[in-house]
Amino acid sequence: MAAELVERITGHGSVNDTAARFGVHATDLGVMWDGGGGRTFVAFGDTYGHGWCGDGAGPSEGSDWRCNFLAVSTDEDLDNGLKFDYVIAGPNGHARQILDRDSYGTEETVIPCSGVAIGDTHYLHYMSVHAWGSRGRWATNYGGIAVSTDDGETWDKPVGARWPNRAERDHPFQMGAFALADDYLYLLGTQNGRWNGASLARVPKNDVLNLRSYDYWNGAGWYPREELRATPVLLGNVAELSVIYSVHFGQWLAVHLDEALAALVLRRADELTGPWSEPEVLATGRDYPGLYGGFLHPASAHGPVIHFTMSQWSPYNVYLMRADLS
């Protein structure tokens, strides 16, 4: 079931030629969600332009650094790569930052984790990074939800829609993956870093920004305002998590990085509460050194073939991958 590389979608020589078109020489992640009207929204992490160091995420000074940016695609022929129609751009036509850093405290960057559209409103789960650490480890200030009502042109980061991290740096909803089902928006959350399982929360779809409306799964049922008692439902080393309900298979699919395996893996479950299957390897660091990410394209819900983005630390850019699960 090994995934195959379809196309490089960012940077020089990519199918989108983002360096020339949008001032994006290097970036990572590629969080995708259904934006309605046949559009797929794609959010990226730390981004560099002319002056980038050329190997991994580099220093911000002199490199046209942006914490994040957003592209929009109507491409349906994914076996030829994911092509962007446009990006949210500044006056010079270059991709501009959509989520700004806080004007207070210590914040290295603002990284998108998962997106979803409910009607005409877009929500983006993000993490506020306090400091980067050693391999697969970092500290966050908080995990939060940003909102846009103008198709991603502008975003608000409500202070009330944030899960502050604790001094122990173990709050379970610092990085999140959205999943829509029935009348609820579900959120699978992890601690900062790449070495913990994912816990589960849910909120009515009409009250996403109100943290007092969230219930948390503790292994036996749903309980309000109990995020610190949430029991992990997806065990193992879960990072850069993406979740989608496959209509084709009639089950939930999750793709994430497993740092211990140095691999992007697939997990399956009949219910979001689990049990989830053991990891099935999709791509390994042996074949793609420095790989991470693993964000599903929304079209992956409708057939035996899934497409997902994969990042590589060097050359610090994003690729579209394909795997046939049949």
What does the DSSP assignment read for 187-227? EEEE-SSSSS-BEEEEEETT-TT-GGG-EEE-SSSEEET-G
pLDDT of 259-284, one tens digit each?
Answer: 999 999 999 999 999 999 999 999 99
How far, rounded to the nearest angstrom, does the alpha carbon of residue 10 sit from its chain's CA centroid? 16
Band of residue 57 on the pLDDT scale cut at 50, 70, 90: confident
DSSP letters along 274-288, please? SPPPPPEEEEETTTS
How far, rounded to the nearest angstrom, does the alpha carbon of residue 239 sit from its chain's CA centroid? 10
Are 307 and 324 spatial neighbours (Cβ–Cβ below 8 Å)? no
Band of residue 145 on the pLDDT scale cut at 50, 70, 90: very high
Band of residue 135 on the pLDDT scale cut at 50, 70, 90: confident
Which helix (H) or strand (E) segment is 307 a member of?
A: strand 305-312
Residue type, 285: G
CA-angle at 177, arms to 292 and 144, nearest 5°:
105
DSSP letters along 78-145, please? GGG----SEE-B-TTSSB--SSPPPSSS--SEEEEEEEEEETTEEEEEEEEEEEE-STT-EEEEEEEE
pLDDT of 19-49, one tens digit each?
Answer: 999 999 999 999 999 999 999 999 999 999 9
Give me the phi and psi of 79, to 5 degrees please: -70, -5
Question: What 3-state DSSP class applies to 236?
Answer: coil
Range of the domain at 67: 4-324
Q: CATH code at 291? A: 2.115.10.20
The Cα 227–Cα 218 span in angstroms is 9
Are 84 and 72 spatial neighbours (Cβ–Cβ below 8 Å)? yes
The Cα 124–Cα 70 span in angstroms is 11
Q: Can you give the pTM of this predicted structure?
A: 0.97
The reported pLDDT for the residue numbered 116 is 98
Band of residue 179 on the pLDDT scale cut at 50, 70, 90: very high
Do you find a cis peptide bond into 232, omega within 30 degrees of 0?
A: no
Name the one residue in this structure whose structure tokens are 């969080």. Answer: 31
Residue type, 61: E
CA distances from 59 to 69, 226, 246 (A): 18, 39, 40
The Cα 158–Cα 174 span in angstroms is 16
Number of domain units in the chain = 1
The Cα 243–Cα 264 span in angstroms is 13
The mean pLDDT of 174-185, rounded to a whole number, is 97
